[in-house]
Amino acid sequence: MQVWVAVLILLTIAAALGAIAHGLKLPAKTTDRIWQPLNLALGLAIALFVVGVVYDKWGIGLSCLILPVMIGLACLFFILTRLYSKTFLVFIIYQSVAMLFALGVYGWLALSEQRPGALWLVSGVSLTILAATIQATKTVSLTFIWPFDHNGIYHLIQMVGMICLVLGLRTSLLAG
């Protein structure tokens, strides 16, 4: 359970920093500095998400074994975001690999009825993948009261995805 709490805390930190970076008109240097801890929080959240998925399927032994590997990958992700700071591609690849893995595992758990809440988790991960796809294409926009570009649509879909993920984790945790 602690790994999922850590994921949610890291996502909260990333969301708060993202709101500052996207929502305030700041000097470019300040925005760049905000993106550093934001990318670190995202990288660690995704790494721990994978650890949580492994825990849900294979238990504590394997999840503890891969924890240092995933923290190392999160650090590598962070370094790559510093080297390639002008592109979001590094995040898209990193997140996509993790979410496709999670989709496969939770899809299996849902089909085999081995995990309560797995269908919610499949829904949340699927929405995360859809949101990332829309963000990566940069071609989708819509107006619903306000205009939303591909980034805005990403965040709207991701909010629904997060609700599904939290419902799935809650259902799973309550079932023991």
Q: Which pLDDT tens digit goes with each residue over 55-80? A: 999 999 999 999 999 999 999 999 99
According to the model, what pLDDT value does residue 88 have? 78
Q: Are the C-beta atoms of residues 51 and 37 closer than 8 Å to each other?
A: no
Q: Tell which residue, 67, 43, 44, has the closest CA to residue 55.
A: 67
Position 116 pLDDT exceeds 80: yes
Tokens of 66: 């891969």
Structure tokens at 147: 């205009």
Query: Residue 158's pLDDT band (boundaries 50, 70, 90)?
Result: very high
Q: What is the pTM of this model?
A: 0.91
Let me know: does 92 contact 135? Beta carbons within 8 Å.
yes
71 burial via Cβ count (<10 Å: 0-12, 13-18, 19+):
middle
At 6, is the pLDDT very low, low, confident or very high (cuts 50, 70, 90)?
A: very high
pLDDT tier at 144, thresholds 50, 70, 90 = confident
Using only C-alpha atoms, the chain has a radius of gyration, in whole angstroms, of: 16
**71, two tokens:** 């923290």
**pLDDT the model gives residue 160:** 96
Distances (CA, A) of 121 to 102, 113, 158, 173: 9, 13, 13, 12
Is 42:16 a contact under the CB 8 Å cutoff? Answer: no
* pLDDT(87) > 80: no
What is the distance between the alpha carbons of residues 162 and 140, in angstroms, rounded to a whole number? Answer: 21
